[in-house]
Structure 1
Amino acid sequence: MADVYLSKNKLEGSLIDAFDGCQSLDRLDLSHNYFRGSIPESIGSSLKLSFLLLGYNNLEGEIPRQLCELEKLSLIDLSNNHLFGHILPCLKPTSKGQMEREASLNPSGNSLGVEDRQPPIPIALPVPVEDPSKNKSVEFTTKSISYPFRGVVLNYFTGIDLSCNNLTGEIPAELGNLSNIKALNLSHNSLTGPIPSTFSNLKDIESLDLSYNNLNGEIPRQLINLYSLSVFTVAHNNLSGKTPEMVAQFSTFNSSCYEGNLLLCGPPLAKNCTGGTPPSPVPRPQTHNKEENGFIDMGAFMVTFSVAYIMVLLAIGSVLYINPSWRRAWFYFIGESINNCYYFLVDNLPVPARFRRFQPCV
């Protein structure tokens, strides 16, 4: 039995004895099921294993170190489980095409001396004949999208997806030695420490997702040399310092790739590294001479207006109380005003006949 494809079948149970006697196992896809328990250490006996897809299950425990013994392993998907512990620094996924190329470039296994080196000769690798048994597609998340891969292309693709688990500790610097890896997803864990500067050696990487962790420190400036990188996100960490220069492929990454890092500054973020605050907006041209930068405190305005109104009423009352002549004049004025208002209403508004007019007492 070389290939096992049992993805999306609602299977459940433990994998404790699943790899006993599976030395010839090549591709294993058990993703999108309900398997539980830990990944058995007996997986190390499957020395020919190239694809290990166990994502979207209920697996627990630590990642077994026996995975480091699988030298032909190219795709590792353990995402969306409940795995904990540290990331193994010895993981070294290598594509089948890369191993064939290295073997053809150096078939004897010995390094050539300086005097024996010749100018490189273009080598046309034979295109492998597609085996119908290998025509089954496998899903792997890269560039934030789950793609179905099938056929010969799988011989030249390498990737690690450990996202959505409970992994802790620092990211091993040894992962920076995976110069041929295409996709690395470590998002949605509890990883700490800095981003390894060795990641600048990932020359072929196209998708790097380190978001939703507890990473700190600065983003290595050397990452701008990853010219194949098309998806990059370090959002929602504790990173600080300046973002990488907006050059080459990094000029295509927007602010969402860096958001959620309060101490991170520089473009494309709005936070300026020099002043620590976003740049002030360009002032609008004024169309008149009146200042527009003032404002009214409505609470203070209402209190001031009420106090002033009460003071005016008290002042008028005090004057009328002290001076009898002014008091008589004031009441005479009020009476005349009431009479004038009354006669104005009687002369200008229609009044039903049943209502009797009466003269006010003067």
Structure 2
Amino acid sequence: MKKTFYLLFLSFSLSSFAAVSVVEREALLDLYQSANGKKWINQWDLSAPIATWFGVVLKEDKVVGLDLSGNNLTGSLPVTIGNLFYLKELNLSKNRLEGCIPKSIGSLNSLESLDLSYNHLSGSIPSTIGALLHVKKMILCMNKLTGVLPFELGKLHHLEVLSLHNNEIEGKIPSSLFGIQRLKMMLLSGNRLSGELHSDIAKLKDLETLSLFDNELKGLIPKELESLRKLRELNISYNHFNGPVSKILVDKDVLNMTMLTSNGKVVLLEII
């Protein structure tokens, strides 16, 4: 009887203290090395259990959360960040990370929230980001990201918040974005976006905030914007839009549709 009890106790103990997988542990260690962990405000004691490491959240011995925001991370993101397969939240905002967002980010299939804002990340947003099918928040603002918006963003059907403002992104707004029915907030201001704003934006029935301020968009402002009944905050000024616009939309815009001509002159659009 005592032997049976001992074996049950030992089995329970081993299952309770089972280690995080080698792959996940190595991914965390790679991040620690690549992002200069010895200079973090809250450092990790690598000899202690991972459960005690600052910002790491475990569930059933799987890394499901990683929040190292404002922790003086420098350096770059390692490719092995994509090996944290069970992550639901990744927050590395308000640091000084440089380099590109690795393509392996698309391997984080369980991710619901991604925040890499307020860093010095550069390069294009990888198309693999379209594989994050469960993500609800994607916040990549206040970086130095370039290139065009990947068409694959339209695959993120659970996305509610898309914040990419204050980067150096160029090109057209991909039409695929207008198929994300749950999107509530689209913040694309302070980039180099060009082309026209398609009337299909009216498909975003849940949209509450739209900011396209300070880009290079042109053409007529789609009248269909008026049909977005949940839209509360609108800022599409300081673009090159032209032609008349309704008073309904002017009243919603923070800067009353203040536009720039091709030679940089500030103008107000005609109200009809």
After superposition, give the CA deviation of every residue in 1:123-160 in whole Å (9 maximum; x if it has no partner): xxxxxxxxxxxxxxxxxxxxxxxxxxxxxxxxxx7110
**Poorly superposed stretches of 4+, deviation over 3 Å:** 92-95, 261-264
TM-score when scaled to structure 1?
0.54
Aligned-pair CA distance for 1:199: 0.4
2:211 is matched with which residue?
209
Give 2:247's aligned amino acid. M
Aligned-pair CA distance for 1:261: 3.5
Aligned-pair CA distance for 1:21: 2.0
1:105 is matched with which residue?
none
1:230 is matched with which residue?
232
Give 1:266's aligned amino acid. E
Aligned-pair CA distance for 1:254: 5.2
Distance in 1 of aligned mates of 2:254 and 2:169:
26
1:9 is matched with which residue?
71
Give 1:212's aligned amino acid. D
Of residues 18-27 and 65-74 in structure 1, the stretch that sits farther from structure 2 once superposed is 18-27
Give 1:234's aligned amino acid. I
After superposition, give the CA deviation of every residue in 1:298-334 in whole Å (9 maximum; x if it has no partner): xxxxxxxxxxxxxxxxxxxxxxxxxxxxxxxxxxxxx
1:253 aligns with 2:257: no
SS in 2 for 1:175: helix
One of 120, 124, 128 as aligned partner of 1:62: 124
Question: Percent identity at matched positions?
Answer: 32
The alpha-carbon distance between structure 1 residues 6 and 238, as it changes in their structure 2 partners (threshold 3 A), is same
1:185 is matched with which residue?
187
2:102 is matched with which residue?
40
One of 261, 265, 271 as aligned partner of 2:269: 265
2:14 is matched with which residue?
none
| RMSD over aligned Cα atoms | 1.8
2:175 is matched with which residue?
173
1:87 is matched with which residue?
149
Distance in 1 of aligned mates of 2:210 and 2:239:
15
Give 1:17's aligned amino acid. V
Question: Would the aligned equivalents of 2:236 and 2:253 in 1 still touch at CA under 8 Å?
Answer: no
SS in 1 for 2:152: coil
Give 1:193's aligned amino acid. G
1:196 aligns with 2:203: no
Structure 2 unaligned segments of length 5 or more: list them. Answer: 1-62, 262-266
SS in 1 for 2:130: helix
After superposition, give the CA deviation of every residue in 1:259-317 in whole Å (9 maximum; x if it has no partner): 133465223xxxxx7xxxxxxxxxxxxxxxxxxxxxxxxxxxxxxxxxxxxxxxxxxxx
Question: Would the aligned equivalents of 2:70 and 2:93 in 1 still touch at CA under 8 Å?
Answer: yes
Aligned residues: 204
Question: Would the aligned equivalents of 2:141 and 2:163 in 1 still touch at CA under 8 Å?
Answer: yes
Aligned-pair CA distance for 1:74: 1.2
* Residues 277-288 of structure 1 aligned to structure 2 (within 5 Å): none
One of 4, 11, 29 as aligned partner of 2:91: 29
Give 2:226's aligned amino acid. I
Question: Would the aligned equivalents of 1:75 and 1:93 in 2 still touch at CA under 8 Å?
Answer: no
Aligned-pair CA distance for 1:94: 3.7
After superposition, give the CA deviation of every residue in 1:81-135 in whole Å (9 maximum; x if it has no partner): 111000012213344xxxxxxxxxxxxxxxxxxxxxxxxxxxxxxxxxxxxxxxx
Question: Would the aligned equivalents of 1:240 and 1:264 in 2 still touch at CA under 8 Å?
Answer: no
Question: Would the aligned equivalents of 1:32 and 1:55 in 2 still touch at CA under 8 Å?
Answer: yes
Distance in 2 of aligned mates of 1:182 and 1:241:
27
Question: Would the aligned equivalents of 2:206 and 2:230 in 1 still touch at CA under 8 Å?
Answer: yes
Aligned-pair CA distance for 1:70: 1.3
Question: Would the aligned equivalents of 1:28 and 1:52 in 2 still touch at CA under 8 Å?
Answer: yes
Distance in 1 of aligned mates of 2:180 and 2:98:
30
Distance in 2 of aligned mates of 1:175 and 1:57:
25
The alpha-carbon distance between structure 1 residues 46 and 255, as it changes in their structure 2 partners (threshold 3 A), is closer
The alpha-carbon distance between structure 1 residues 214 and 71, as it changes in their structure 2 partners (threshold 3 A), is same
Structure 1 unaligned segments of length 5 or more: list them. Answer: 96-156, 268-272, 274-362
Aligned-pair CA distance for 1:257: 3.8
SS in 2 for 1:19: helix
Aligned-pair CA distance for 1:45: 1.3
TM-score when scaled to structure 2?
0.71
SS in 2 for 1:260: strand
- If each structure's strand is expressed as a fraction of its own residues, which one has the higher value? 2
1:144 is matched with which residue?
none
Distance in 2 of aligned mates of 1:256 and 1:210:
12
Question: Would the aligned equivalents of 1:240 and 1:261 in 2 still touch at CA under 8 Å?
Answer: no
